[in-house]
Structure 1
Amino acid sequence: MSPPSVVAARKDSAPVVAALAFFFLLTAYYIVRPVRDQLAGAVGSTQLPVFYAAIFVATLLLTPIFGVLVAKFPRRKLLVWSYSFFILCLFAFVPAFLAQDHVGARSLGVVFFIWVNVFNLFVVSLFWSFMADVFDSRRAREVFPLIALGGMAGTLSGPVLTRWLVGWLGVAPLLLVSALALGSALILLLRLSARHIPSEKVDEPVGGSPWAGVLELWSRPFLRYMAVLMLLGDGVGTLAYALVADYARAHLASATVRTAFYADIDLAANVLGAVLQLTLSRWLLVHRGAVWALVLPQLVNVALLVMVTLAGHAQWTVLGYGVPLLVAMMVGTRGFTYGMTKPASDALYTRVPRETRYKGKNFVETAVWRLGDLVVTSGISGLGKLGVGLAGIALIGTGASTLGTWVARKAATSPDLAPEIGNAPPPDFGEAARS
């Protein structure tokens, strides 16, 4: 048995190893994202319903498969198989992107959008479910913002590397750089599994039904609230994404230029997210709990949509450059989503049963998320055909985001969440002032 001092040192190193793994994971992901998004910019918003319909169908088919794998196989094997599979896929996609002009952006887009969604299901979402096994709820509130900050560093390095390398290497070789970063993340996660999870649990599968994630959506209030919040909150980002795709199609001619453009958007959004992680998000989670960390981003969405309703296609001048308001909305919604909403919701998932963390969470963050994308992009297309302009679409989004603020509060205070472990509820500063 290791001496207590060694055990304590290993425990203290767990957040550092996790943050570094998340750094490499999101570096890999944010190299892939601009490569994917430039395909959307090539075809415009009218083709996005096709992309998202394919993604939604694929997600419904793959969710029970993911459930079977989680139920039957130990986490170490699941990590190795999942990450290794996607590393091989990155190598396999290189020839397709070298021949993008011949294959066609629409055909390649359907395939690659589906693949990136599966990547999210088996790699990104699995990471946070794994973290919920490593840390209890009290410890999670302390370290999840720090781990997310490591990821935020990855979300900065990914776009910067993409912006720097795409003009030199082109689009296709970027996938090889992503594969290298993903392999580094796998090595660190295996180290975390070996040193920071009790030996009797390291090879223990989650068990249960592969359909548990779908079934619990109807039986667990917390998951229902999170599903509705996903539909309402993500709808704003999808709205901005679709309209920015039209802008990119109209103004950016080549795949290289579009990739650099989307890398710049990711970089700006992730800088905002990193600033939030360093300042407001951790303070809210530690001192006020998850309620305000979920509600505040919805209020920001409302404010951004009101500005779009009033100003439409106006441009802001930022550091001497004209920035379309739609791009600013996309940056703002993404920044608050990843800088505040995500660490708050991930901390809440430590207070539900283990099967819910892996299966219910993955179902909400994949199938429900992609259903929202399909509904929003189809709705934008339908409203456009009916003659509804940008201001009308933004006004509808404002109403949805206003409802989202109420749903966010209900999710953070859901009665089926377990009490915080070893930590008193956040103080009521109003009550302290009255006393």
Structure 2
Amino acid sequence: MNARRPAPGEGMTLALSVIAFFFVMTSYYLLRPVRDQLVGAAGSSSLPGFYAIVLVVMLVLTPVFGWLVARFPRKRVVGVSYLFFIAGLLAFVPAFAAQDRIGAVALGRVFYVWASVFNLFVVSLFWSYMADIYRSAQARLVFPFIAFGGMGGALLGPLITRLLVQRLGVPAMLVISATGLLLALGALLALSSRPSEAGAAPDEPVGGSILEGAKSAFAQPFLRYMAVLMLLSDGIGTLAYALVADYAKVHFIDNAARTAFYADLDLWVNGIGAVLQLTLTPLILRGAGVVWAMVLPSLANFILLALLAWLGPVDIGLAGHAVPLIALVMIGTRGMTYGMTKPASDSLYTRMPREARYKGKNFIETAVWRFGDLVVTTSLTAARSAGVGIAAIGLVCAGLAAVATEVARRAATSPDLLPENQDN
């Protein structure tokens, strides 16, 4: 069979998509180590409080987001959202300059909320926009390349942090992050003036009810599966994140050194994700199909967590260094999520109605996600207070990974997914 010849301008649309996501992720991954070092300074016991505030804010802002995409053209939503966050990043610079006086817990309560809202209005909005531009069959071909472009930014962001934070300080990372987001906005505005590959008008509002995201997440089988999968996967990822925070609190005192440690973790996670997106993920999506791309990461999580349950909190010799096993679990689970699960699940969203792509997806990736964070961290704190060890916790999470494997399979074969070539 002959390969499909690209339509006129299609290459430029893909190039702008890749460039935009590259700078979105550069900005975000400059932001993440700054956020995570606050958790490392405060310890995992601070996480339930952080997540409780985040959940309340997400529940308030999710219908606001739904109202915005229902009433205003996507160009305006993207432009206003990104400019708002550029200004906000610059506004946090004085606060981080005074972090030691303010305190990690107090600053963390505010900045953790900010970073979560950033995810809603910057990262998640980008992928909803991509699902609006590309047809389903086309998305399977181009989404791995767009995600790989994002992985380039996700590698550059922590690399910049790793190289510069101990020279320039933490506040300077926020200025560089704002610059990256401004460059992403320029690419998205150029993209918004081009015709949509999925057939929608380039500046057409989504329309519909502001509460449609929450309703569809419970009413539609595919979105329901994705919500359950988010909760199960979040239990695994948040466990590793909380335990790594306790490790960072003990081993790193200086704010810049702690930020550099989290940047190293992000470099490894995103390096694994980039390799997967360049090699294995496109082959699976085009050959074996999206079902295997959804299932394999959960199987990998099961193996990693079973290893944690067997060995417990030990250090593993790696390249001449003693690396905590829990850090390797976090790197492995996140690397598989970003490198395979994310491109696969985003391609499935192209087979949902347009309103569900924007609102249902964002409800799951914000309110459901943060609810899971709160439940998991509260349960973890209670379990550790009761004397439950890491090995036992790992065993429970291995069971969650086994359940997640079946839920992922059902999501990829959900009966309400539209045919791949149908316009939606």
What TM-score does the superposition give when structure 1 sets the normalisation length? 0.94
Question: What amino acid is aligned across from residue 270 of structure 2 in structure 1?
Answer: N
Q: For 1:327 and 1:42, how far apart are their aligned partners in 2?
A: 17
Displacement of 1:414 in angstroms is 0.2
Displacement of 1:165 in angstroms is 1.0
Q: For 1:262 and 1:359, how far apart are their aligned partners in 2?
A: 31
- Taking the TM superposition and a 5 Å limit, the aligned residue runs for 1:85-234 are 85-197=84-196, 201-234=201-234
Displacement of 1:200 in angstroms is 7.6
The alignment-based identity, stated in percent, is 57
Q: For 1:395 and 1:313, how far apart are their aligned partners in 2?
A: 13
Aligned to 1:287: 287
Aligned to 2:413: 413
Aligned to 1:78: 77
Question: What amino acid is aligned across from residue 336 of structure 1 in structure 2?
Answer: M
Aligned to 1:55: 54
Q: For 1:298 and 1:180, how far apart are their aligned partners in 2?
A: 36
Question: What amino acid is aligned across from residue 379 of structure 1 in structure 2?
Answer: S
Displacement of 1:195 in angstroms is 2.1
Displacement of 1:123 in angstroms is 0.7
Contact kept, 8 Å, 1:21 with 1:184, in 2: the verdict is: yes
Aligned to 1:368: 368
- Taking the TM superposition and a 5 Å limit, the aligned residue runs for 1:11-30 are 11-30=10-29
Displacement of 1:124 in angstroms is 0.3
Q: For 2:64 and 2:400, how far apart are their aligned partners in 1?
A: 33
Contact kept, 8 Å, 1:72 with 1:206, in 2: the verdict is: yes
Displacement of 1:389 in angstroms is 0.8
Aligned residues: 417
Question: What amino acid is aligned across from residue 320 of structure 2 in structure 1?
Answer: G
Contact kept, 8 Å, 1:46 with 1:381, in 2: the verdict is: yes
Contact kept, 8 Å, 1:11 with 1:196, in 2: the verdict is: no
Q: Does 1:393 align with 2:390?
A: no
Aligned to 2:261: 261
* 2:170 aligned counterpart, secondary structure: coil
Q: For 1:316 and 1:270, how far apart are their aligned partners in 2?
A: 21
In the TM superposition, what whole-angstrom CA distance separates every residue of 1:186-230 from its partner, at most 9, and x where no partner exists? 000111111243898222110100000001112100000000000
* 1:352 aligned counterpart, secondary structure: coil
In the TM superposition, what whole-angstrom CA distance separates every residue of 1:7-35 from its partner, at most 9, and x where no partner exists? 93411221111011100000000000000
Contact kept, 8 Å, 1:21 with 1:189, in 2: the verdict is: yes
**Two-structure CA RMSD over aligned residues (Å):** 1.4
Q: For 2:196 and 2:307, how far apart are their aligned partners in 1?
A: 48
Aligned to 1:429: none
Contact kept, 8 Å, 1:226 with 1:411, in 2: the verdict is: yes
Q: For 2:191 and 2:217, how far apart are their aligned partners in 1?
A: 30
Q: For 1:12 and 1:71, how far apart are their aligned partners in 2?
A: 29
Question: What amino acid is aligned across from residue 389 of structure 1 in structure 2?
Answer: G
* 2:317 aligned counterpart, secondary structure: strand
* 2:119 aligned counterpart, secondary structure: helix
Question: What amino acid is aligned across from residue 354 of structure 1 in structure 2?
Answer: R
Displacement of 1:387 in angstroms is 1.3
In the TM superposition, what whole-angstrom CA distance separates every residue of 1:309-336 from its partner, at most 9, and x where no partner exists? 1111111222211111000001001100
Displacement of 1:167 in angstroms is 1.1
Contact kept, 8 Å, 1:10 with 1:196, in 2: the verdict is: no
Aligned to 1:66: 65
Aligned to 1:4: none
Deviating beyond 6 angstroms after TM superposition, the runs of 4 or more aligned structure 1 residues are: none
Q: For 1:371 and 1:284, how far apart are their aligned partners in 2?
A: 32
Q: For 1:167 and 1:254, how far apart are their aligned partners in 2?
A: 10
Gaps of 5+ in 1: 1-6, 423-435
- Taking the TM superposition and a 5 Å limit, the aligned residue runs for 1:342-361 are 342-361=342-361
Contact kept, 8 Å, 1:125 with 1:365, in 2: the verdict is: yes
Aligned to 2:3: none
Question: What amino acid is aligned across from residue 353 of structure 2 in structure 1?
Answer: P
Question: What amino acid is aligned across from residue 57 of structure 2 in structure 1?
Answer: A
Q: For 2:218 and 2:25, how far apart are their aligned partners in 1?
A: 32
Could you tell which deviates more after superposition, 339-348 or 285-294?
285-294
Aligned to 1:426: none
Q: For 2:136 and 2:418, how far apart are their aligned partners in 1?
A: 9
